[in-house]
Amino acid sequence: MKLTISILKADVGSIGGHTKPSKRMIDATEQAVADAISSGLLIDGYVGHTGDDICMTTTHTRGPNDTDVHQFAWSTFLKATDIASQYGLYGAGQDLLADAPSGNIRGAGPAVAEVEFDHDPIKTNPVRPAESFFVLAADKCGPGAYNLPMFLGFADPMYCGGLMLPRLDQGFTFNVIDMDNTDGDSIISLNAPEDYYKLAVLLRDNERFGIDSIVSRYSGEMAAAISATRLHNIAGSYTGKDDPVAVVRNQGIFPAPEELTSPYAKAHFIGGDARGSHVMPLMPVPINTAVTGMYCLPLVSCVGFSIAADGTFSDSSIDFFDNQSWDHVRLLAQQKAIEMRSQGWSGAAMLPYGELEYSGFRQSIGDLVDRFAFRNGHGAEVPEKATADD
């Protein structure tokens, strides 16, 4: 069958500041998913939260950008928003930037990542005898948060030894989106390993260029899809960080989970943190982790699934970052955060003016810029043009 995995995530309210959604909000979301399964809209679904973002992982046969699936997600986020408003939670409906989108909800605020593929999990299937994938959900960070880990996992044999094996050694195509182009989805396709350096040139800029999807050059199968969008380009002002999601297929013709998750041991620096205006390390955390540390650290969770022949999730899920080996990385991230935040507002510790997401910062700077004046009340003297007689 043609199966679609749809990941839909939004921040629609949280307790005591931007920490986590309430139990009532999660319960309402889980009930909505259960009802959608009963009605036949969805085959299966899983609900969790990363920081204050509620994330729904679903399977169905309706294809990407399906209006009914996306409208279900929108109405579910509205229900959670109503609960947040009723109980006075912070940021109720924060990521719902449109009044009532009539079709799919891409560009309306929620993060969306979807993959469609032929699902035939039998031993004789030469491409995918079993289907496994994981979902990355990030909070308090910009849309390019996955650029470095995805690049290392799908293009660098120092992190993914599987790239030296048959089938995987044919490499992957990276579809990269220019998120500053507001006229539409502006995409460039680059191949690894041939375009390794060209990819690095683009992906170094997490705030402008982001990986939209990754495709196997051996099979043409999509390996990963990422919600690379800029909320401030949608809303015109700061409404919260972009907090991307990603669905990543693994094993077989794709890298293994450990090859794809090991780059997160870097706790690499990205834009995000408080008011979306700092540069801080990305901390891998278990699913359903709240934002309660001494800083508003960017967080990422990673939950893995297998899919049965009927499209349902098999048995249970696995939390890849809920392991004592990641405790060391969390301490590393915290130490890196302390060092960076000790620099306060100076230099690289905060995003440059052009990338400051919080409209208040931009207004404060703009008000001061308007007060600049040339010394002695006039500009530099412009020399007269020389003539032929000079």
pLDDT digits (tens, 9 = 90+) for 271-280: 887 777 778 8
Mean pLDDT over each residue of the chain, to the nearest integer: 90
Dihedral sign from CA coordinates of 354, 360, 365, 367: positive
pTM of the model: 0.89
In the annotation, is 11 catalytic? yes
In the annotation, is 156 catalytic? no
User: Which is it for strands 222-226 and 269-272: parallel, antiparallel or unpaired?
Assistant: unpaired
Side-chain-side CA neighbours of 130 within 13 Å: the count stands at 10
pLDDT digits (tens, 9 = 90+) for 101-149: 878 888 788 999 999 999 999 999 999 999 999 999 999 998 899 999 9
CB atoms within 10 A of CB 150: 25
Name the phi and psi angles at 307, rounded to 5: -125, 125
User: Residues 238, 264, 295, 358: which is the catalytic one?
Assistant: 238
User: Residues 20, 140, 241, 336: which is the catalytic one?
Assistant: 241
User: Which is it for strands 283-284 and 299-307: parallel, antiparallel or unpaired?
Assistant: parallel
pLDDT digits (tens, 9 = 90+) for 33-80: 999 999 999 999 999 999 999 999 999 999 999 999 999 999 999 999
Residue 96 clears pLDDT 70, i.e. is over it: yes
- Report the C-alpha gap between 228 and 143 in whole angstroms: 5
Query: Which residues are CB-neighbours of 379 under 8 A, at least 6 positions away?
Result: none
User: Residues 11, 52, 53, 243: which is the catalytic one?
Assistant: 11
In the annotation, is 238 catalytic? yes
